């Protein structure tokens, strides 16, 4: 763990990002020339609109009055006692639409309207970003189309129904792996066809610059709140855990604690059912550098450079890439990334339900499983886990598994 504040500050200087949109070596823009003007307009809009006092007040009001922030910090007494630690949960499952995704969606929807977009396109995996995008676009009065892999449409049927009821057009993607990667591919194709009138609302801290920065800034409210809540009651945690797929909830939570050298930070990835390519989605801990969806980061690909399909019981972690800022944080050693299996996540979900009366999303269950593993070697520690969303959306998956409650 990095304990010297000066050293830590030097390392974190790479998180700006720089003028080329890079976090250390990661990030940048790898897109068709037709999208460069749209990205430049977005970058200008972030500088001139997003960071303006007027927009800040508008966004803050929506976060309080519509999203329901601040979300609670819950002491998980029973679960913590089982693990031998002092356990706290940052409750993004209590935000409007049931997950952290709404923080990003309402911010980008407001920005899209300010920039004069005629419509919004979005992608979704587990469906939570799709629901958030549909709700946010309804709120601001901009039409929304959501692309979703056909596999995810089947296993996340409740969220598909919610998106449509909220007024979004949901397009099932039948090409590629029919999960999140394919949905992103199709959303980008749509965006390329009308880059001036269409705003692409990316749901995670991925994609070409300035999206990883924008999503991080919109999700950083999680970490700011969590740190203030903990410092105002019990003090800083010894360790912070969040699940990592693309990485938006994790980067939002982590940013509240990156400059605190006494706090260890852990990103928990989807270990799936094995260590071979195609058996997991552990991009940071088992991947290699490369370019996907407009950014240079860590990816899962074979020796021929072909991006591989992934596996996770959780639809929201089923992505072969990760946000470039996470790759940088891993390289400099500020955040430790490791994987937990499907079975570990399912066990953690069951225990959280029975011990705390909280049904977490399968994504969040990975963070719980990672924290439980760490707690075995660190009795008495104060632990904060990001509960990124609620598990209602996962009931079809949990029911289909059988043999479990």
Cα–Cα distance for residue pair 309/241, rounded to 1 Å: 26
Q: Which pLDDT belongs to residue 249?
A: 97
Under DSSP, the state recorded for 316 is G
Of 86, 92, 101, 269, the active-site residue reads: 101
Q: Are 107 and 94 part of one and the same domain?
A: no
Under DSSP, the state recorded for 390 is B
Asked whether residue 16 is assigned to any structural domain, the reply reads no
Residue 75 confidence class, pLDDT cut points 50, 70, 90: very high
What pLDDT digit, counting tens, does each position of 212-234 carry? 999 999 999 999 999 999 999 99
Cβ-contact 110, 55 below 8 angstroms: yes
Give Cα 345 distance to the centre of its chain. Answer: 17
Q: Are 81 and 135 part of one and the same domain?
A: no
Q: Are 106 and 166 part of one and the same domain?
A: yes
Of 347, 367, 87, the residue nearest 241 (C-alpha)? 367
Asked whether residue 11 is assigned to any structural domain, the reply reads no
Cα–Cα distance for residue pair 285/245, rounded to 1 Å: 12
Whether cis (ω within 30° of 0) applies to the bond prior to 17 is yes
Domain at 263, CATH number: 3.40.50.1100
Does 101 qualify as catalytic in the annotation?
A: yes
Asked whether residue 129 is assigned to any structural domain, the reply reads yes
Q: Are 132 and 279 part of one and the same domain?
A: no
Whether cis (ω within 30° of 0) applies to the bond prior to 70 is yes
Angle between helices 324-332 and 211-231 (to 10 degrees): 60
Q: Are 196 and 272 part of one and the same domain?
A: no
Cα–Cα distance for residue pair 95/401, rounded to 1 Å: 28
Of 62, 92, 123, 225, the active-site residue reads: 123
Does 123 qualify as catalytic in the annotation?
A: yes
Cα–Cα distance for residue pair 253/35, rounded to 1 Å: 30
Asked whether residue 247 is assigned to any structural domain, the reply reads yes
Under DSSP, the state recorded for 127 is S
Does 388 qualify as catalytic in the annotation?
A: yes
Q: Are 267 and 152 part of one and the same domain?
A: no
Tell me the residue range of the domain where 28 lies. 23-64+101-211
Of 264, 325, 388, 393, the active-site residue reads: 388
Residue 179 confidence class, pLDDT cut points 50, 70, 90: confident
Residue 4 confidence class, pLDDT cut points 50, 70, 90: low
Of 168, 189, 211, the position where a domain reaches its end is 211
Q: Are 123 and 271 part of one and the same domain?
A: no
Q: Are 333 and 266 part of one and the same domain?
A: yes
Of 163, 191, 211, the position where a domain reaches its end is 211
Q: Are 279 and 350 part of one and the same domain?
A: yes
Q: Are 149 and 229 part of one and the same domain?
A: no
Candidate from 274-283, 290-299, 392-401 with smallest mean pLDDT: 392-401
Q: Which pLDDT belongs to residue 6?
A: 61
Cβ-contact 296, 27 below 8 angstroms: yes
Angular region, 199: left φ>0, alpha ψ -120 to 50, beta rest: beta
- Count CB neighbours of 373 within 10 A: 17
Tally of domains within the chain: 2
Asked whether residue 186 is assigned to any structural domain, the reply reads yes
Q: Are 241 and 264 part of one and the same domain?
A: yes
- Count CB neighbours of 333 within 10 A: 10
| Res. 405: pLDDT tops 50 | no
Asked whether residue 54 is assigned to any structural domain, the reply reads yes
Residue 1 confidence class, pLDDT cut points 50, 70, 90: low
Q: Which pLDDT belongs to residue 95?
A: 98
C-alpha triplet 390, 391, 394: angle, nearest 5°: 145
Q: Are 297 and 228 part of one and the same domain?
A: yes
| Res. 332: pLDDT tops 70 | yes
As given in the structure block, the two tokens for residue 379 are 């009795």
C-alpha triplet 323, 265, 370: angle, nearest 5°: 90
C-alpha triplet 143, 144, 149: angle, nearest 5°: 160
Asked whether residue 12 is assigned to any structural domain, the reply reads no
Asked whether residue 4 is assigned to any structural domain, the reply reads no
Of 170, 191, 211, the position where a domain reaches its end is 211
């Amino acid at each position: 763990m990095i304990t010297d504040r000066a050293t830590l500050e030097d390392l974190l200087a790479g998180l700006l990002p720089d003028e080329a949109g890079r976090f250390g070596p990661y990030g940048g823009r790898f897109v068709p020339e037709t999208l460069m003007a749209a990205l430049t307009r977005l970058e200008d809009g972030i500088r001139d609109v997003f960071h303006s006092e007027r927009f800040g007040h508008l966004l803050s009001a929506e976060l309080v009055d519509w999203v329901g922030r601040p979300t609670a910090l819950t002491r998980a007494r029973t679960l913590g006692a089982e693990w031998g630690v002092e356990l706290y949960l940052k409750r993004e499952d209590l935000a409007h639409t049931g997950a952290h995704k709404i923080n990003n969606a309402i911010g980008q929807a407001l920005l899209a309207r300010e920039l004069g977009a005629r419509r919004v396109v979005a992608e979704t995996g587990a469906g939570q970003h799709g629901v958030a995008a549909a709700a946010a676009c309804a709120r601001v009065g901009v039409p929304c189309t959501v692309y979703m892999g056909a596999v995810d449409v089947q296993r996340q049927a409740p969220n598909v129904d919610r998106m449509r009821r909220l007024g979004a057009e949901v397009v099932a993607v039948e090409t590629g792996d029919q999960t999140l990667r394919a949905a992103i591919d199709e959303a980008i194709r749509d965006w390329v066809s009308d880059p001036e009138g269409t705003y692409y609302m990316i749901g995670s801290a991925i994609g070409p610059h300035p999206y990883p920065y924008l999503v991080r800034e919109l999700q950083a409210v999680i970490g700011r709140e969590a740190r203030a809540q903990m410092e105002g009651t019990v003090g800083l945690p010894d360790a912070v855990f969040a699940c990592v797929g693309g990485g938006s909830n994790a980067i939002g939570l982590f940013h509240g604690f990156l400059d605190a050298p006494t706090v260890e930070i852990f990103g928990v990835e989807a270990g799936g059912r094995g260590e071979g390519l195609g058996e997991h989605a552990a991009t940071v801990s088992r991947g290699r550098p490369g370019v996907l969806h407009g950014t240079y980061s860590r990816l899962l690909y074979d020796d021929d450079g072909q991006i591989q399909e992934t596996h996770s019981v959780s639809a929201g972690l089923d992505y072969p890439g990760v946000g470039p800022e996470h790759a940088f944080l891993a390289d400099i050693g500020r955040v430790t990334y490791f994987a937990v299996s499907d079975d570990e996540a399912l066990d953690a979900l069951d225990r959280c339900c029975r011990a705390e009366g909280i049904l977490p999303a399968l994504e969040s269950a990975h963070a719980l499983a990672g924290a439980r593993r760490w707690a075995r070697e660190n009795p008495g520690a104060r632990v904060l886990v990001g509960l990124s969303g609620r598990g209602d959306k996962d009931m079809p998956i949990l029911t289909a598994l059988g043999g479990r409650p």
